[in-house]
Amino acid sequence: MTAPGLTGSARVVTPKADRYAKQLVSHLGRKLEFRTEGATSTAAIGTGTGQIVIADDASALTLIARGDDSETVARVEHVLASHLERFAQRDELAVEWNRSSSGAG
């Protein structure tokens, strides 16, 4: 069940999706509590929620940031993207976010 709010998502194509997801969860898990179910790891980041999803064929990661307002979503996006981009510097991965609203209705 998803509360009304904003969602940011970014699909990052990489043959190292498993490795980067594991590295992100491990690193961020020092300060955040992740819950992993299958290919999806979820954590509260401030008042928002971040998810790291490995594609079925492990060819990409999808990062998802949810929150009630733009600032919250931007914070979650920054946390997920900045760490992934730093870990993947050699592979020159770039995270590009898309935003959508999920209003009641």
pLDDT in tens, 25-67: 999 999 999 999 999 999 999 999 999 999 999 999 999 999 9
Per-residue confidence (pLDDT) for residue 1, from 0 to 100: 37
- Whether 103 shows a pLDDT value over 90: the answer reads no
pTM assigned to the model:
0.90
> What CATH topology corresponds to 5-95?
TATA-Binding Protein (3.30.310)
Domain boundaries defined on the chain: 5-95
Q: Residue 88 CA to chain centroid, in angstroms?
A: 15
What is the C-alpha to C-alpha distance for residues 102 and 96, in angstroms, rounded to an integer?
Answer: 20
